[in-house]
Amino acid sequence: MLEKLKEAVFKANLELVDQNLVIYTWGNVSGYDPEKKLLVIKPSGVSYDIMKASDMVVVDLDGNVVEGKMRPSSDTPTHVALYQKYPELRGVVHTHSEWATSWAEAERDIPVYGTTHCDYFYGDIPCTRQLTKEEIEGKYEYNTGLVIIETLKNRNIKALEVPGINVGHHGPFTWGTSPVDAVHNAKVMEEVAKMAYRAEKINPQARKVSQDLLDKHYLRKHGKNAYYGQK
């Protein structure tokens, strides 16, 4: 079942390692099939160097395992919540990459200081509030997804315009139009987190880009009249 998606999710998980976004068994990637309304995700706690495409687990949008011999990632309910709310997503990634996670631990948005950031994220990368005691003691992972959704809604952010977020005191989640696109956004988020930190160290009064510059760089790549790259 979903053999092509399993292969894509498997390769995207290995890309996390190749891009130095995870160590040990940290992190996970999922992919979503909107026709079957099923997602494929990395198995929980399995080392990347022994993992196979056939180990990927198929889960429905109620969080039930449909196919797979292993338990799915413990973060599966977060992925489920995001696919339930945003059916346009085709891939979701969670890492504890060090630069992005540092902003999460500081409970700060990653400010849009430069055009590298503008090319991928249409504004600051938000940080959610910390989950409450009740949310932590309840359906913790699903509630993590709900606090992501809450933050995007409260800030009037479209998911694919700002394809990533930090969960306060936890770490980054990113998403995209495919599993590998979600990994790509995770790598970009890590790099702009590093650049933003350095910008503030070099100049504590660093200013964010103007709206004009943000619009230019984001829309030339993602707008209806985009002209970046090849047709």
DSSP secondary structure code for residue 163 in this structure: -
What residues does each domain of the chain span?
3-222
**Which token pair is 6?**
């399993």
**Which token pair is 169?**
């005191």
Give yes or no for residue 214 having a pLDDT over 80: yes
- Mean pLDDT, residues 121-135 taken together: 98
Please write the tens of the pLDDT for every residue from 150-161.
999 999 999 999
pLDDT above 90: percentage of residues in the chain: 98
Please write the tens of the pLDDT for every residue from 26-56.
999 999 999 999 999 999 999 999 999 999 9
Any idea what the Cα angle at residue 119 is, between residues 169 and 212, rounded to 5°?
A: 105
Give yes or no for residue 147 having a pLDDT over 80: yes
CA distance 200 to 207: 9
Place 230 in a pLDDT band, splitting at 50, 70 and 90: confident
Q: For the domain bounded by 3-222, which CATH number is listed?
A: 3.40.225.10
Q: Are strands 171-176 and 164-167 parallel, antiparallel or unpaired?
A: antiparallel
- Contacts for 160 with CB less than 8 Å, ≥ 6 apart: 88, 89, 175, 176, 177
**Which token pair is 222?**
């993602």
- Mean pLDDT, residues 105-111 taken together: 98
Place 231 in a pLDDT band, splitting at 50, 70 and 90: confident
Catalytic residue positions, numbered: 119, 228
Give yes or no for residue 71 having a pLDDT over 80: yes
Please write the tens of the pLDDT for every residue from 180-196.
999 999 999 999 999 99
How confident is the prediction for the chain on average, in pLDDT?
Answer: 97
